[in-house]
Amino acid sequence: MTTVLIYKALHIFFMVAWFAGIFYLPRLFVYHAETKSADCDKQFKVMERRLLYFVTPFAILTLVFGTLLIYSYGLAWLKASHWLHLKLILVLILYIYHGYCFKLLANFKHNKNQRSSRFYRIFNELPVLILLAVILLAVLKPF
């Protein structure tokens, strides 16, 4: 078993764990934006905070093992892998998305949410589409 395969397996594992949370958190935001109950509001705040803080280390470890993969393959491979350049741009967008979730979490925490449940439904679809593009790029390597 090579080190590269271990890095690749761990990169995929942590990415899957990260995305489980990234797919579920905005769904919680949808329901939170719709609730009128103070008890539900309180419960959503706890659930959202715990989930975001639970999956953030997975996002970091995804980045660590992805970086180790790139380093293992080398600079020449990185320069020649144009599909990877696009993948990295999409991944950067996902990290920005993840960071923006902290802002949304703070808005709910301080009762300053101004977004509708419709916004959060659309917001919830963005990582799905980006993940599809990232997987297609990683598997097909079209350029």
- Cβ contacts of 108-115, under 8 Å, gap ≥ 24: 108/29, 108/32, 108/44, 108/45, 108/48, 109/45, 109/49, 113/32, 113/33, 115/29, 115/33
CA distance 53 to 68: 24
Segment 57-94, tens digit of pLDDT: 999 999 999 999 999 999 999 999 999 999 999 999 99
Quick one: average pLDDT of 38-59? 98
- Domain range list for the chain: 3-140
The answer to whether the Cα torsion of 99, 105, 107, 110 is positive or negative is: negative
Q: How confident is the model at residue 115 (pLDDT cuts 50, 70, 90)?
A: very high
Mean pLDDT of the chain: 97
The pLDDT value recorded for residue 27 is 97
- Within 8 A by CB and 6+ apart from 82, the residues are 143
